[in-house]
């Protein structure tokens, strides 16, 4: 096993009111609140961030946001900035999730600014990359990943590259119940690692790369055992305390 620390993040997406988020984190804390050997992260919607941060304070659970704007402030109606997140002790942020790229107009150009902005602001970015089904069938998976990784990391100072977490999420596997085969996941993630090594060899060896897309308690062991997979970005299965805790336990094994 590599000496990269395992990382399990739950992406709650647009689920849970504040009351429901409180309930979920209260159910999670007895199960994962004292886990010291794996980074355990939850990513609630903006409105629940403060409540979940307050509930998780003093535990090992870290709270990340699901997106942020690249500017600190300004006329950007409906957006949230890095200083607003750090003010309430949010520790990181998902950037470039495929749902934001596909449904909310997130561009590679904006991500090029968001990733270094997060780091400068004291937030750990989880940069999401991944191909559509059509791109995979056309044989364009590597081309797509190269483009997304290069754009997303281009403006990150070399000495901070290893702090970024990258999530490989094949779009055809997200929320569909279709999971990448271990071979597909390992190949794509090894390719992403080689791309980061292309920026800086040492950073590529150290960077954590997650798998995401229909990861559940029953397929987690197989995916988390792959040599280049350092953890998971979990959607649906993170909405249930028992299944998320089981995935965290699997990562510790």
Q: Is 43 helix (H, G, I), strand (E, B) or coil?
A: strand
Minimum CB separation from ligand PGA for residue 3, in Å? Answer: 25
In whole angstroms, give the CA distance from residue 136 to residue 171: 10
Structure token pair of residue 153: 């990391």
Structure token pair of residue 206: 């150290």
Phi, psi of 81 (to 5 degrees): -105, 170
State yes or no: residue 215 binds ligand PGA (CB under 6 A).
yes
Minimum CB separation from ligand PGA for residue 174, in Å? Answer: 4
State yes or no: residue 212 binds ligand PGA (CB under 6 A).
yes
Minimum CB separation from ligand PGA for residue 237, in Å? Answer: 6
State yes or no: residue 214 binds ligand PGA (CB under 6 A).
yes
Note whether 2 and 227 are within 8 A (CB).
Answer: yes
Contact with ligand PGA (CB under 6 A) among 6, 7, 11, 168: 11
In whole angstroms, give the CA distance from residue 3 to residue 77: 43
Contact with ligand PGA (CB under 6 A) among 30, 83, 157, 175: 175
State yes or no: residue 200 binds ligand PGA (CB under 6 A).
no
Chain-centre distance of CA 58, in angstroms?
22
Site string for ligand PGA, 97-116 (x = CB under 6 A): --------------------
In whole angstroms, give the CA distance from residue 177 to residue 188: 19
135 noted as active-site residue? no
For residue 248, give every residue at least 6 positions away whose Cβ sits within 8 Å of its Cβ, in sequence order, or none. Answer: 8, 31, 32, 35, 38, 40
36 noted as active-site residue? no
With CB under 6 A as the rule, give the number of residues binding ligand PGA. 13
The catalytic residues are 97, 169
**Residues contributing to the site for ligand PGA (CB under 6 A):** 11, 169, 174-175, 212-215, 233-237
């Amino acid at each position: 096993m590599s000496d990269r620390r395992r990382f399990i993040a739950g992406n709650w997406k647009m689920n849970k009111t504040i009351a429901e988020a409180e309930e979920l984190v209260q159910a999670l804390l007895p199960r994962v609140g004292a886990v010291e050997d794996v980074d355990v992260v939850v990513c609630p919607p903006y409105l629940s961030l403060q409540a979940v941060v307050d509930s998780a304070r003093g535990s090992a659970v870290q709270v990340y946001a699901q997106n942020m704007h690249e500017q600190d402030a300004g006329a950007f109606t409906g957006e949230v900035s890095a200083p607003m997140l750090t003010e309430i002790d949010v520790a990181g942020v998902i950037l470039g999730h495929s749902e934001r790229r596909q449904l909310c107009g997130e561009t590679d150009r904006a991500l090029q600014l968001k990733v270094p902005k997060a780091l400068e602001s004291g937030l750990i970015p989880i940069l999401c990359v991944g191909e559509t089904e059509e791109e995979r069938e056309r044989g364009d998976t590597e081309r797509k990943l190269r483009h997304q990784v290069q754009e997303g990391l281009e403006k990150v100072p070399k000495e901070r590259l290893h702090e970024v977490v990258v999530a490989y999420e094949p779009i055809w596997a997200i929320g569909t119940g279709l999971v990448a085969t271990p071979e597909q996941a390992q190949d794509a993630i090894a390719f992403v690692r080689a791309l980061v090594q292309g920026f800086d060899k040492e950073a590529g060896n150290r960077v954590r790369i997650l798998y995401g897309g229909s990861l559940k308690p029953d397929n987690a062991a197989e995916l988390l055992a792959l040599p280049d997979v350092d953890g998971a970005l979990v959607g649906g299965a993170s909405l249930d305390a028992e299944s998320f805790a089981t995935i965290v336990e699997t990562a510790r094994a």
